[in-house]
Amino acid sequence: MHADAFIQLIFLIFTGAAVIATAALYARQALPVAYIVLGALLGPWGFGLVGNIEILEGMAEFGIIFLLFLLGLNLEPRELLHMLREAVMVTLVTCVVFFAIGAGVAIAFGLDVLQAVLIGAAVMFSSTILGLKLLPTSTLHHQRLGEIIVAILLLQDIIAIAVILFIQGFAGSANPLVDVGVLLLTAPLLFAAALGLCRYGLMPLMQRFDQIQEYVFLSAIGWCMAVAVAGHALGMSYEIGAFIAGVAIATSPISRVIAGTLKPLRDFFLVVFFFSLGARFDMSLLPQVFWPALTLAGLLMLVKPLTFAWLFRRQGEKPAVSREIGIRLGQVSEFSLLVAVVGLSSGLMTDRASYIVQATTILTFIASTYWIVLKVPSPIAISESLRRD
Residue 62 neighbours by CB under 8 Å, 6+ apart:
269, 272
Give the per-residue pLDDT at 84.
64
Of 126, 133, 129, residue with least CA distance to 71: 129
CB atoms within 10 A of CB 312: 22
**Per-residue pLDDT tens digits of the chain, which is 389 residues long:** 567 777 888 898 999 999 998 998 888 777 788 888 898 888 887 788 876 667 777 777 777 787 778 777 876 666 666 666 668 889 999 999 999 999 999 999 999 999 999 999 999 999 887 787 777 766 655 577 877 887 888 788 878 878 887 787 676 555 666 666 666 678 788 888 998 998 888 888 888 887 787 888 888 899 999 999 998 888 777 877 888 898 888 877 777 778 777 878 878 877 887 888 788 777 777 888 999 999 999 999 999 999 999 999 998 888 988 999 999 999 998 889 888 988 888 888 999 999 999 999 988 988 888 888 888 888 766 677 777 76
Tally of helices (H runs) and strands (E runs) in the chain: 17, 0
Mean pLDDT of the chain: 83
Domain ranges of the chain: 60-386
What is the dotted CATH code of the domain comprising 60-386? 1.20.1530.20
**pLDDT tens-digit series, residues 140-197:** 555 778 778 878 887 888 788 788 877 876 765 556 666 666 666 787 888 889 989 9
Host H or E run for residue 7 = helix 3-26
Residue 3 contacts residue 10 (beta carbons within 8 Å): no
